Amino acid sequence: MASANKLTLFIVIFMLAGILSGAVIHSYASQEAIAAWSDNITLLHRYFLTAH
């Protein structure tokens, strides 16, 4: 049961890290940097959804 709790903790931590990094990028980056970040993260998203 302890490993399930550890996995849940990691998931929550990385979800919060994603929210925090998104907020920081949105607050401090230029519009061009945000557009580039969005394009790059979309490529990563597509890779993991199509990888089998």
pLDDT digits (tens, 9 = 90+) for 8-43: 999 999 999 989 988 998 899 899 988 887 887 777
Which pTM does this prediction carry?
0.59
pLDDT of 45 > 80? The answer is no
pLDDT of 51 > 70? The answer is no
What's the rounded Cα separation, in Å, for the pair 36 and 31? 9
Residues spanned by the domain of 28: 2-50
State the average pLDDT over residues 41-47. 73
What's the rounded Cα separation, in Å, for the pair 12 and 18? 10
Q: How many domains does the chain have?
A: 1
